[in-house]
Amino acid sequence: MFSKLPQTGEFEKVALPHLNELYRTAARLLGDGTKAEDVVQETYLQAWKSFARFEPGTNCRAWLFKILINTIHHYRRGWFNLRRVKESEEILEQTAACAAPAPERIAQEEILRALGRLPPDYRAAVLLADVEEFSYKEIAALLDVPIGTVMSRLSRGRKLLREQLSGLARSYGIGEGGA
């Protein structure tokens, strides 16, 4: 049988709907929107390269997240060249000129800061489970660790997050469980 020539149209149709989730996960794991953009772009390039081997009907989202997680590992080890921006210069993409956060966003900022303070391994597990709603088994495959490790990272990560957020939760009228 002849190998099928991958079509960008087909690729974009199945892969691009996951762009937002990939970007926000990358942004939270790397703590930097510009790095997240680079990593997401690289993720799609890697995905496109291996698209001929992707089987239609299988879980495209998990496949893309797996590539994203690998790309982030590579990024952290400096395995591919990323755009370097001189710190002395402020570089803005045209859309980066966003308005100041609206008041209702402020609480969200606090939550994101608390998430950002979690150790990276815990943060990844919490993001994948509680935000992206992957199953523990899927997370084990994505992070390439045993399911027991996923469970212990989740347990510690969630506990740390809860501790950090307890003050915030109280301010929002969320009690500590007292009747």
Maximal CA-CA distance, the chain:
67
Give the Cα separation of 51 and 47 in Å (integer): 6
- Helices 19-30/33-49 angle, 10° precision: 130
By CB under 8 A, which span of 56-64, 71-79, 92-100 interacts with another protein? 92-100
Nearer to another protein, 30 or 66 (CB): 30
Tell me which of 87, 89, 100, 103 binds another protein, using CB under 8 A.
89
Give the Cα separation of 123 and 154 in Å (integer): 8
Half-sphere exposure (CA, 13 Å, Cβ side) for 152?
4
User: In terms of Cα–Cα distance, which of 17, 6, 29 is closest to 123?
Assistant: 29
Binding track, positions 28-67, relative to another protein; x by CB under 8 A: x----x---x--xx--xx--xx--x---------------
Give the Cα separation of 22 and 15 in Å (integer): 10
CB count within 10 Å of CB 30 equals: 18
Binding track, positions 122-161, relative to another protein; x by CB under 8 A: ----xx-xxx---xx--------------x--xx--x--x
Tell me which of 14, 60, 62, 111 binds another protein, using CB under 8 A.
111
Burial class, 126, CB count within 10 angstroms (exposed 0-12 / middle 13-18 / buried 19+) = buried
User: In terms of Cα–Cα distance, which of 115, 23, 117, 120 is closest to 65?
Assistant: 23
Tell me which of 8, 73, 144, 148 binds another protein, using CB under 8 A.
8
Closest distance of CB 13 from another protein, Å: 12
Is 171 among the residues that bind another protein (CB under 8 A)? no
Binding site for another protein (CB under 8 A): 3, 5-6, 8, 11-12, 16, 19-20, 23-25, 27-28, 33, 37, 40-41, 44-45, 48-49, 52, 83, 85-86, 89-98, 105, 107-109, 111-112, 115, 126-127, 129-131, 135-136, 151, 154-155, 158, 161-162, 165, 169, 172, 174-179
